[in-house]
Amino acid sequence: MFVRFQSAVPNRRGTFPGIFAMANGLRDAGVLSPEDDRWVRRMNAHGERAYTDPSTVVADCYDRERNPGARSWFRESADELLAIARAYTQLLDRSHVPWSELRTSTPGRIVYADSVQVVAVPFTHAQDWPLPVSTRPRSG
Does residue 93 belong to any structural domain of this protein?
A: yes
pLDDT of residue 122: 92
Does residue 86 belong to any structural domain of this protein?
A: yes
Does residue 21 belong to any structural domain of this protein?
A: yes
**Residues in the chain with pLDDT < 50?**
none
Does residue 131 belong to any structural domain of this protein?
A: no
Please count the structural domains in the chain.
Answer: 1
Does residue 44 belong to any structural domain of this protein?
A: yes
CA distance 47 to 111: 21
Q: What residue numbers bound the domain in which 19 lies?
A: 2-125
Does residue 134 belong to any structural domain of this protein?
A: no
- Alpha helices for the chain (secondary structure H): 19-29, 34-50, 54-57, 79-94, 125-128
Does residue 133 belong to any structural domain of this protein?
A: no
75-88 tens-digit pLDDT:
999 999 999 999 99
Which has the closest alpha carbon to 117: 72, 59, 85?
A: 72
Does residue 56 belong to any structural domain of this protein?
A: yes
